[in-house]
Amino acid sequence: MSLNILFAARPERWTVYEKPLRDALRAAGITAKLKLDIPPSEVDYIVYAPNSTLQDFTPYTRAKAVLNLWAGVEKITGNTTLHIPLARMVDPGLTKGMVEWVTGHVMRYHLGLDIDILHTGTDWTPRTPPLAQERKVGILGMGALGAETARTLVNLGFDAAGWSRSAKSEPGVKCFHGDQGLQDVLARSEILVLLLPDTPATENIINKAALAAMPDGAFIINPGRGPLIDDDALIGALDSGKIAHATLDVFRIEPLPAEHPYWAHPHVTVTPHIAAETRAVTASQVIVENIQRGETGQGFLHLVDRTLGY
């Protein structure tokens, strides 16, 4: 039997994904029509990006699953026309990219690299770099990305703590959950990394009270989602020096509007949502593995709980 797989993403993504998806299907021995346009009632699987023009899933009566190309699903979880399983992207290539990006920025803050790189003049005052074991890093969100980041930071020697909704155990990582757990992680984090999804429960989690609970002069790194941060509260904390510096990759409005105060703020680094990109070859293997599981009656991997929003 041949499957009909609809590729529902922006046309420029087709040029990136067509060959890796066809290669992965062939390697798995799956015969399929993979196309940009298939009559909805004939589609078996939908490979999907939330910024696709496909927003009404009602006519896709035969489809068995929507397989998301993105890790973030906040733009699709509220779609009331979607009644079939939705899998988010957990891509080893994307995870590696995120771990490297976060580790780089943690190192930058930990070692004070900006001070060294921007060093001018002839001052020869030695500044002994601290050791990772003396640095407390907190990670909000201990999912696919947060847990792997925490493992890497622990391997480098950092005193790392993670916070999640459910209780976790991760060798070498101090694991917290629940409201008190959040307070405990905030209070100890000299460097705080946000790797939570954007859901009603996480919006503005970094608000005035959360920032006040952090150590003076702490650093914030946000590759999660823009709405995790109350922007006015963060700007206030940066202005007062309570927060020394923030590296922000994601924003409520993207691209970040030219007039937004983050652009010109001396204590903010803005990056244009580049922390981690889905990698076509590894992501295609993940998509095809899920199709294979669907066809053999095994449960889909990385299913989204739409009541929780992630």
Among positions 20, 50, 138, 223, the unique one binding ligand NAP when judged by CB under 6 A: 223
Instruction: Tell me the window of 51-59, 103-111, 219-227, 235-243 that interacts with ligand NAP (CB under 6 A).
Output: 219-227
Count of positions on this chain that bind ligand NAP (CB under 6 A): 30
Kindly state the smallest distance separating residue 91's Cβ from ligand NAP, in Å: 9
In degrees and rounded to multiples of 5, residue 42 shows phi and psi of: -105, 0
Nearest to 23 by CA among 283, 295, 284, 278: 284
| Whole-angstrom distance, CA of residue 211 vs CA of residue 133 | 24
Residue 273 annotated to the active site: yes
Kindly state the smallest distance separating residue 68's Cβ from ligand NAP, in Å: 11
Please say which residue, 151 or 242, places its beta carbon nearer to ligand NAP. Answer: 151
Chain position carrying tokens 């709980």: 305
Binding of ligand NAP by 310 (CB under 6 A): yes
Catalytic one of 88, 108, 110, 225:
225
Please say which residue, 3 or 182, places its beta carbon nearer to ligand NAP. Answer: 182
Among positions 25, 220, 250, 280, the unique one binding ligand NAP when judged by CB under 6 A: 250
Binding of ligand NAP by 6 (CB under 6 A): no
Question: Where does 67-206 have alpha helices with state H?
Answer: 92-111, 113-117, 144-155, 178-188
Residue 10 annotated to the active site: no
| Whole-angstrom distance, CA of residue 259 vs CA of residue 257 | 5
Catalytic one of 267, 273, 293, 306:
273
Please say which residue, 125 or 180, places its beta carbon nearer to ligand NAP. Answer: 180
Binding of ligand NAP by 36 (CB under 6 A): no
Q: Which two tokens stand for residue 229?
A: 């941060």
Please say which residue, 37 or 179, places its beta carbon nearer to ligand NAP. Answer: 179
| Whole-angstrom distance, CA of residue 243 vs CA of residue 208 | 11
Identity at 70, one-letter amino acid code: W
Instruction: Tell me the window of 17-25, 31-39, 270-278, 292-300 that interacts with ligand NAP (CB under 6 A).
Output: 270-278
Nearest to 52 by CA among 90, 82, 21: 82
Instruction: Tell me the window of 28-36, 43-51, 129-137, 194-202 that interacts with ligand NAP (CB under 6 A).
Output: 194-202
Cα 30 to its chain centre, rounded Å, is 30
Q: Give the residue nearest to ligand NAP (CB).
A: 143
Kindly state the smallest distance separating residue 94's Cβ from ligand NAP, in Å: 6
Please say which residue, 65 or 185, places its beta carbon nearer to ligand NAP. Answer: 185
Q: In angstroms, what CA-CA distances link 87 with 30, 118, 224, 306?
A: 19, 44, 18, 10
270 and 258 in contact (C-beta within 8 Å)? no
Binding of ligand NAP by 138 (CB under 6 A): no
Binding of ligand NAP by 169 (CB under 6 A): no
273 Ramachandran zone, left/alpha/beta (phi>0; psi -120 to 50): left
Binding of ligand NAP by 145 (CB under 6 A): yes
Residue 303: strand pairing partners: 87
Nearest to 290 by CA among 7, 28, 15: 28
| Cα angle 208-212-215, degrees, rounded to a multiple of 5 | 145
Catalytic positions: 225, 273
Binding site for ligand NAP (CB under 6 A): 71-72, 90, 94, 98, 141-146, 164-166, 195-199, 201-202, 223-225, 249-250, 273, 275-276, 310
